Amino acid sequence: MKLSYKTNIWPGLTWGEHKELAGKMELDGLELCYSPAESSGLMRDMQLRQQFLRSLSEKQLVIACIAVDIGSASLGFSESAEYDFDTARKNATDCIELARALRTPYVCLDMGFETNADEAFLVSLIGVILPKAESEGITLLV
């Protein structure tokens, strides 16, 4: 088991700063919280991605998981809110792509459950993204 911390604890830090902090704390890894700004550079730039992975390896760190906040039906995410479902689907799919690129085996779908609509929303989302996750060898965590 790897001792890691979730990067959303200190949202003002970049993933690079989290990597440095985890190394100083002698942890084994990080649970990256999805950030479109942070992930877009790593997805677009292969050299940046390789540099990031190399620096993790030098510090003997792994990315244990990438977490994505997909919201809550009671907070406006529902079957009737197509844009919200599409946003959650896009973010979850982007996380699957990022996990593949960073050789991370898990994507965690973070969602607050307050109503039955929340569960229905999550079940619908999983039904849409599971084939992508399976094809990339990524395990979804809820």
Domain residue spans in the chain? 4-141
- Looking at residue 125, what is its pLDDT? 94
Burial class (CB in 10 A: 0-12, 13-18, 19+), 58: exposed
In angstroms, the CA 86 to CA 46 distance is 27
- Tokens for 42, please give them: 């790593």
Q: What is the pLDDT along the chain (142 residues), one digit of tens a residue?
A: 577 878 777 778 887 888 888 888 888 888 888 888 878 888 888 898 899 899 889 888 888 899 998 875 444 444 444 448 888 999 999 999 999 999 999 999 988 777 788 888 889 999 999 999 999 999 999 8
Residue range 4-141 forms a domain whose CATH class is alpha beta
- Residues 66/107, Cβ–Cβ less than 8 Å: yes
DSSP structure class, residue 74? G
- Looking at residue 133, what is its pLDDT? 97
Find tokens 């009671």 and name the residue. 74
- Looking at residue 75, what is its pLDDT? 46
- Tokens for 30, please give them: 């990080």
Burial class (CB in 10 A: 0-12, 13-18, 19+), 49: middle
In angstroms, the CA 139 to CA 59 distance is 25
pTM of the model: 0.81
- Looking at residue 91, what is its pLDDT? 92
In angstroms, the CA 128 to CA 142 distance is 15
In angstroms, the CA 97 to CA 91 distance is 10
